[in-house]
A and B are shown apart, each in its own frame.
Chain A
Amino acid sequence: MTDGYLMSRRAVLETLGALGVAAAAGGLVVGAPKTAQAQALGQNESVEDAMKRLFGGKPIKDGAAVIKLDLPLIAENGAVVPVSVNVDSPMTPTSYVKHIYVVADKNRIPVVTRVTLAPEAGRAFMGANIRLGESGDVRAIVEQSDGTLLQVKRDVKVTIGGCGG
Protein backbone atom coordinates (compact mmCIF):
# COMPACT_ATOMS: atom_id res chain seq x y z
CA MET A 1 0.00 0.00 0.00
CA THR A 2 2.72 2.39 1.02
CA ASP A 3 4.71 1.27 -1.97
CA GLY A 4 1.87 2.01 -4.33
CA TYR A 5 1.46 5.38 -2.74
CA LEU A 6 5.12 6.17 -3.17
CA MET A 7 5.09 5.05 -6.76
CA SER A 8 2.17 7.21 -7.66
CA ARG A 9 3.73 10.11 -5.79
CA ARG A 10 6.89 9.66 -7.85
CA ALA A 11 4.88 9.43 -11.02
CA VAL A 12 3.09 12.61 -10.12
CA LEU A 13 6.35 14.40 -9.38
CA GLU A 14 7.85 13.21 -12.65
CA THR A 15 4.87 14.45 -14.57
CA LEU A 16 5.12 17.78 -12.82
CA GLY A 17 8.79 17.97 -13.63
CA ALA A 18 8.18 17.23 -17.27
CA LEU A 19 5.51 19.88 -17.34
CA GLY A 20 7.89 22.35 -15.78
CA VAL A 21 10.48 21.64 -18.45
CA ALA A 22 7.88 22.01 -21.15
CA ALA A 23 6.74 25.29 -19.68
CA ALA A 24 10.31 26.56 -19.49
CA ALA A 25 10.92 25.59 -23.09
CA GLY A 26 7.69 27.29 -24.05
CA GLY A 27 8.83 30.39 -22.22
CA LEU A 28 12.08 30.43 -24.16
CA VAL A 29 10.31 30.14 -27.47
CA VAL A 30 8.34 33.32 -26.83
CA GLY A 31 11.47 35.38 -27.45
CA ALA A 32 11.94 33.77 -30.83
CA PRO A 33 9.25 33.97 -33.50
CA LYS A 34 6.08 32.51 -32.08
CA THR A 35 5.39 30.63 -35.24
CA ALA A 36 8.03 27.98 -34.74
CA GLN A 37 5.88 25.42 -36.43
CA ALA A 38 5.25 27.66 -39.39
CA GLN A 39 8.90 28.64 -39.55
CA ALA A 40 9.94 25.03 -39.80
CA LEU A 41 9.17 25.12 -43.46
CA GLY A 42 9.96 28.70 -44.34
CA GLN A 43 13.24 29.83 -42.94
CA ASN A 44 15.66 32.50 -43.94
CA GLU A 45 18.32 30.36 -45.45
CA SER A 46 20.18 29.65 -48.62
CA VAL A 47 18.67 27.28 -51.09
CA GLU A 48 21.40 24.71 -50.45
CA ASP A 49 20.50 24.63 -46.76
CA ALA A 50 16.85 24.34 -47.59
CA MET A 51 17.42 21.41 -49.91
CA LYS A 52 19.61 19.68 -47.36
CA ARG A 53 17.01 20.17 -44.66
CA LEU A 54 14.10 18.96 -46.76
CA PHE A 55 15.64 16.06 -48.58
CA GLY A 56 18.78 15.21 -46.66
CA GLY A 57 21.38 13.73 -48.94
CA LYS A 58 18.88 11.92 -51.13
CA PRO A 59 19.67 12.03 -54.82
CA ILE A 60 17.31 14.13 -56.91
CA LYS A 61 16.80 12.93 -60.44
CA ASP A 62 15.96 15.03 -63.43
CA GLY A 63 12.24 14.94 -63.96
CA ALA A 64 11.92 16.88 -67.18
CA ALA A 65 10.08 13.96 -68.78
CA VAL A 66 7.19 13.89 -66.35
CA ILE A 67 7.01 17.28 -64.63
CA LYS A 68 5.56 20.27 -66.40
CA LEU A 69 6.39 23.50 -64.64
CA ASP A 70 4.46 26.48 -65.92
CA LEU A 71 5.91 29.89 -65.20
CA PRO A 72 6.17 33.14 -67.10
CA LEU A 73 9.58 33.65 -68.71
CA ILE A 74 9.64 37.21 -67.55
CA ALA A 75 7.76 38.17 -64.43
CA GLU A 76 7.04 41.88 -64.62
CA ASN A 77 5.88 42.01 -61.07
CA GLY A 78 7.64 39.70 -58.65
CA ALA A 79 4.88 40.14 -56.10
CA VAL A 80 2.49 37.96 -58.04
CA VAL A 81 3.89 35.23 -60.23
CA PRO A 82 1.52 32.50 -61.30
CA VAL A 83 3.08 29.06 -61.19
CA SER A 84 1.61 25.67 -61.83
CA VAL A 85 3.04 22.20 -61.67
CA ASN A 86 1.55 19.28 -63.50
CA VAL A 87 3.03 15.84 -63.05
CA ASP A 88 2.40 13.07 -65.51
CA SER A 89 2.05 10.27 -63.01
CA PRO A 90 -0.53 7.71 -62.00
CA MET A 91 -2.55 8.55 -58.92
CA THR A 92 -3.40 5.16 -57.49
CA PRO A 93 -3.19 4.20 -53.82
CA THR A 94 0.01 2.26 -54.53
CA SER A 95 1.80 4.75 -56.73
CA TYR A 96 1.10 8.43 -56.53
CA VAL A 97 2.74 11.79 -56.09
CA LYS A 98 3.01 12.49 -52.40
CA HIS A 99 4.49 15.96 -52.32
CA ILE A 100 5.11 18.77 -54.73
CA TYR A 101 7.58 21.37 -53.55
CA VAL A 102 8.07 24.73 -55.16
CA VAL A 103 11.42 26.29 -54.39
CA ALA A 104 12.61 29.72 -55.53
CA ASP A 105 16.40 29.77 -55.37
CA LYS A 106 16.89 33.49 -54.88
CA ASN A 107 14.16 34.10 -52.33
CA ARG A 108 15.17 34.75 -48.76
CA ILE A 109 12.67 32.08 -47.85
CA PRO A 110 13.39 29.61 -50.64
CA VAL A 111 10.70 27.06 -49.90
CA VAL A 112 7.55 28.57 -51.29
CA THR A 113 5.09 25.81 -50.69
CA ARG A 114 4.83 22.13 -50.07
CA VAL A 115 1.73 20.41 -51.36
CA THR A 116 0.71 17.09 -49.89
CA LEU A 117 -1.55 15.13 -52.17
CA ALA A 118 -3.76 12.14 -51.67
CA PRO A 119 -4.52 9.65 -54.43
CA GLU A 120 -8.07 11.05 -54.46
CA ALA A 121 -6.73 14.17 -56.12
CA GLY A 122 -6.92 12.30 -59.41
CA ARG A 123 -4.09 14.20 -60.99
CA ALA A 124 -0.83 15.53 -59.59
CA PHE A 125 -1.42 19.19 -60.12
CA MET A 126 -1.02 22.38 -58.14
CA GLY A 127 -1.18 26.04 -58.96
CA ALA A 128 -0.45 29.12 -56.88
CA ASN A 129 0.57 32.72 -57.06
CA ILE A 130 4.02 33.16 -55.57
CA ARG A 131 6.47 35.95 -54.84
CA LEU A 132 9.91 36.16 -56.38
CA GLY A 133 12.55 38.43 -54.93
CA GLU A 134 14.82 38.56 -57.94
CA SER A 135 15.64 36.76 -61.15
CA GLY A 136 16.75 33.22 -60.64
CA ASP A 137 15.82 29.59 -60.86
CA VAL A 138 12.50 28.25 -59.70
CA ARG A 139 12.38 24.54 -59.07
CA ALA A 140 9.57 22.09 -58.79
CA ILE A 141 10.47 19.00 -56.84
CA VAL A 142 8.20 16.00 -56.81
CA GLU A 143 8.33 13.29 -54.21
CA GLN A 144 6.60 10.11 -55.22
CA SER A 145 5.05 7.67 -52.81
CA ASP A 146 8.06 5.35 -53.14
CA GLY A 147 10.40 8.17 -52.14
CA THR A 148 11.79 8.97 -55.57
CA LEU A 149 12.65 12.63 -55.99
CA LEU A 150 12.37 14.35 -59.33
CA GLN A 151 13.18 17.93 -60.11
CA VAL A 152 12.82 20.47 -62.88
CA LYS A 153 14.24 23.99 -62.94
CA ARG A 154 13.31 27.09 -64.85
CA ASP A 155 14.99 30.43 -64.95
CA VAL A 156 12.71 33.41 -64.45
CA LYS A 157 13.55 37.05 -65.02
CA VAL A 158 11.97 39.38 -62.52
CA THR A 159 11.64 43.06 -63.35
CA ILE A 160 10.39 44.27 -59.98
CA GLY A 161 11.17 42.18 -56.92
CA GLY A 162 8.25 41.13 -54.85
CA CYS A 163 9.73 40.36 -51.48
CA GLY A 164 10.47 43.88 -50.30
CA GLY A 165 13.34 44.64 -47.90
Chain B
Amino acid sequence: MADIGKVRLRVPTSIKPGDVVQVRSLVIHPMERIERDAQGKIVQKNYNYINKVIVTYLGKTVATFDTTQSVAENPFFSFTFKATDPGQLKVQFLDTTGGRYEGTADIKFS
Protein backbone atom coordinates (compact mmCIF):
# COMPACT_ATOMS: atom_id res chain seq x y z
CA MET B 1 0.00 0.00 0.00
CA ALA B 2 2.73 2.36 -0.83
CA ASP B 3 0.29 4.34 -2.85
CA ILE B 4 -1.67 5.63 0.14
CA GLY B 5 -2.24 9.29 -0.19
CA LYS B 6 -1.74 9.54 -3.90
CA VAL B 7 -4.09 12.26 -5.07
CA ARG B 8 -5.32 12.69 -8.59
CA LEU B 9 -7.19 15.74 -9.78
CA ARG B 10 -8.94 16.01 -13.09
CA VAL B 11 -9.71 19.48 -14.34
CA PRO B 12 -11.16 20.21 -17.76
CA THR B 13 -8.51 21.26 -20.26
CA SER B 14 -10.12 24.42 -21.50
CA ILE B 15 -11.60 26.84 -19.01
CA LYS B 16 -12.97 30.25 -19.76
CA PRO B 17 -13.18 33.02 -17.17
CA GLY B 18 -16.48 32.85 -15.32
CA ASP B 19 -17.08 29.18 -16.07
CA VAL B 20 -18.40 26.91 -13.41
CA VAL B 21 -15.89 24.10 -13.56
CA GLN B 22 -16.46 20.58 -12.38
CA VAL B 23 -13.41 18.90 -10.91
CA ARG B 24 -12.98 15.25 -10.07
CA SER B 25 -10.60 14.17 -7.36
CA LEU B 26 -9.44 10.80 -6.19
CA VAL B 27 -7.21 9.71 -3.36
CA ILE B 28 -5.79 6.27 -2.76
CA HIS B 29 -6.79 5.41 0.79
CA PRO B 30 -7.98 2.21 2.50
CA MET B 31 -10.92 3.84 4.39
CA GLU B 32 -10.93 1.13 7.05
CA ARG B 33 -14.30 -0.27 7.95
CA ILE B 34 -15.56 -0.87 11.46
CA GLU B 35 -14.63 -4.35 12.59
CA ARG B 36 -16.82 -6.48 14.80
CA ASP B 37 -15.90 -9.40 16.99
CA ALA B 38 -17.75 -12.72 17.12
CA GLN B 39 -20.39 -11.21 19.43
CA GLY B 40 -21.05 -8.43 16.98
CA LYS B 41 -19.49 -5.83 19.24
CA ILE B 42 -17.49 -3.10 17.63
CA VAL B 43 -13.75 -3.43 18.00
CA GLN B 44 -12.56 -0.19 19.57
CA LYS B 45 -9.61 1.21 17.79
CA ASN B 46 -8.64 4.24 15.83
CA TYR B 47 -9.86 3.44 12.37
CA ASN B 48 -7.92 5.01 9.61
CA TYR B 49 -10.27 6.79 7.29
CA ILE B 50 -10.56 10.19 5.69
CA ASN B 51 -12.83 12.48 7.64
CA LYS B 52 -12.28 15.78 5.95
CA VAL B 53 -11.69 17.02 2.46
CA ILE B 54 -11.01 20.70 1.96
CA VAL B 55 -11.12 22.38 -1.42
CA THR B 56 -9.50 25.78 -1.71
CA TYR B 57 -9.28 28.02 -4.75
CA LEU B 58 -7.20 31.18 -4.67
CA GLY B 59 -6.75 30.60 -0.97
CA LYS B 60 -10.48 30.59 -0.27
CA THR B 61 -12.36 27.53 0.86
CA VAL B 62 -14.90 26.58 -1.75
CA ALA B 63 -16.17 23.29 -0.40
CA THR B 64 -15.58 21.07 2.59
CA PHE B 65 -16.60 17.44 2.77
CA ASP B 66 -17.02 15.90 6.21
CA THR B 67 -16.97 12.23 5.53
CA THR B 68 -17.57 9.07 7.50
CA GLN B 69 -16.70 5.45 6.97
CA SER B 70 -19.69 5.10 4.70
CA VAL B 71 -17.53 6.52 1.94
CA ALA B 72 -15.98 3.97 -0.39
CA GLU B 73 -12.38 2.87 -0.45
CA ASN B 74 -10.14 5.07 -2.59
CA PRO B 75 -12.68 7.84 -2.26
CA PHE B 76 -13.68 9.87 -5.22
CA PHE B 77 -15.23 13.29 -4.88
CA SER B 78 -16.35 15.77 -7.42
CA PHE B 79 -17.29 19.36 -6.92
CA THR B 80 -17.58 22.58 -8.82
CA PHE B 81 -16.08 25.99 -8.46
CA LYS B 82 -16.41 29.22 -10.33
CA ALA B 83 -13.23 30.08 -12.19
CA THR B 84 -12.73 33.80 -11.81
CA ASP B 85 -8.97 34.26 -11.90
CA PRO B 86 -6.04 32.07 -12.82
CA GLY B 87 -4.56 30.50 -9.75
CA GLN B 88 -4.18 27.41 -7.70
CA LEU B 89 -6.84 24.91 -6.84
CA LYS B 90 -5.89 22.79 -3.88
CA VAL B 91 -7.61 19.73 -2.49
CA GLN B 92 -6.55 18.45 0.91
CA PHE B 93 -7.54 15.12 2.38
CA LEU B 94 -7.20 14.63 6.12
CA ASP B 95 -7.50 11.24 7.76
CA THR B 96 -8.06 10.13 11.34
CA THR B 97 -4.42 9.21 11.91
CA GLY B 98 -3.25 12.72 11.16
CA GLY B 99 -2.35 11.98 7.58
CA ARG B 100 -2.61 14.89 5.21
CA TYR B 101 -2.59 14.38 1.50
CA GLU B 102 -2.98 17.10 -1.01
CA GLY B 103 -3.20 17.65 -4.70
CA THR B 104 -3.03 20.90 -6.59
CA ALA B 105 -3.95 22.05 -10.03
CA ASP B 106 -3.11 25.30 -11.73
CA ILE B 107 -6.15 26.93 -13.21
CA LYS B 108 -5.28 28.66 -16.45
CA PHE B 109 -7.52 30.20 -19.05
CA SER B 110 -7.15 29.26 -22.65
Contacts and interface: CB of A to CB of B under 8 A. Distances in A.
Contacts of B1: none
A149 interface: no
Contacts of A131: 33, 69-72
A129 B76 contact: yes
A26 interface: no
Interface string A9-22: 00000000000000
A32 to B, nearest CB: 7
Contacts of B65: 113-116, 126, 128
Contact of B62 (A38, A118, A129, A164): A118
Q: How large is the interface on B (under 10, 10 to 19, 20 to 34, 35 or more residues)?
A: 35 or more
B13 to A, nearest CB: 18
A38 B49 CA distance: 10
Contact of A121 (B45, B47, B80, B96): B80
Contact of A128 (B49, B60, B78): B78
Contact of B60 (A34, A120, A130): A120
A153 interface: no
Interface of A: 31-35, 37-38, 41-42, 44, 79-82, 84, 91, 104, 107-118, 120-123, 125-131, 162-165
Given A81-B72, A128-B71, 18 more contacts: A31-B44, A34-B46, A34-B96, A41-B66, A42-B69, A113-B66, A113-B67, A115-B65, A117-B62, A118-B60, A120-B84, A121-B79, A127-B76, A128-B75, A129-B76, A130-B70, A131-B33, A164-B34
14 contacts: A33-B45, A35-B47, A84-B78, A104-B70, A108-B34, A111-B70, A116-B64, A118-B62, A121-B63, A121-B79, A121-B81, A122-B81, A127-B79, A128-B72
Interface of B: 20-22, 24, 33-36, 40, 42, 44-47, 49, 51, 57, 60-82, 84, 96
